[in-house]
Structure formats: structure tokens, C-alpha cells
Amino acid sequence: MKQTLSLSWMLIAAATAAFGSSNARADLEGSADIQSTRLVAGSYRYLFPTILEARVNAVSLEFARRGDEDLQLFKEFDAPFSLGLGVVDVKSHDIESPGFVAERIRRALEVVPAERLIINPDCGCMHLPRDVAFNKLSAMVEGARLVRSELAA
């Protein structure tokens, strides 16, 4: 029960940050859907199954920095929302190759169907030097293009 209350509080806090305190609870409890939310955690297991009740269209999670072990949660619980898959690590200046990004996407496609997979960085790039951020995002786009062309073939 405590875990559920903590998650509910966290979702209300996220909505408050996104929409302002006047309508955050209403957005979570009935009047409008939240389009997307981004969550950061050591392990995402604590989110499930409570997060399945969240009225969101997509959840963005960090997988580049922390690994993709928790992808199996989307198979285990048949999540109803899309997954924003973090494929580039924004806390490192190392540039991922498009092939490396493509492999991360392929692994996710084993669990989440392509129509419910959103490719994004782990988080914002504002703390990266501009050239590093540009090269990381370019690798992300090229990696997605590689996989998209494979799916089309």
C-alpha cells in the first residue's frame, strides 16, 4: 500500500510540474489525460503494476545509462501505453554509434511493438557541449533510420 501511495504522489507531483497545481489532481483523477511522463529510478520494477493505472499515452524511461533489463516489465505486465526508450546516455560525453543505438532499438522491439515505441535520449541534452549533443542526437536519428529500413524490408 505504501508503494502505491508513493507512486500516486509522484504522478500528482509530475502533473503539478507539468500543468500547475490547480488542475494536477483533476488531470490524474478524471478530467484529462496526461500525454507523457518521464520517470527516473534505480529499477523500474517498483512502478509496476501501479503505473498501469496512470492515464498517460507514453512513459519515457532511461535505458541507455542503466541498461535494458527492465524492458521485460513491458512484456510481463503488457503495458497499455507507449514507451519512450532512452537510447543515448546524456550523462556521458562518449558518442554512441548509430549501430549501437540500432541494437538498443532492436532489443526493445523484441518486447514493445514498433507502433508503441518512441525513440528519445535518456533525458535532455542541456548539460552537454553543443557538438556532443548534436552528435549523440545524430547517432540516435541514424540508428532509428537503420531499424526503420530493416522493418520496411
Mean pLDDT of the chain: 77
pTM for this prediction: 0.74
Lowest mean pLDDT among 50-54, 74-78, 87-91: 50-54
Q: What percent of the chain has pLDDT over 70?
A: 73
- Could you tell me if 143 and 102 are in contact, meaning their C-beta atoms sit under 8 angstroms apart? yes
Q: What is the pLDDT of residues 4-18, one digit of tens each?
A: 444 454 554 544 444
Structure confidence by residue, pLDDT tens digits, 42-51: 677 878 888 8
Provide the grid cell at 127: 548539460
CATH class for the domain made up of 36-152: alpha beta
DSSP assignment string, 22-67: TTHHHHHHTS--EEEEEE--S-GGGGTTGGGGS-EEEEEE--TTT-
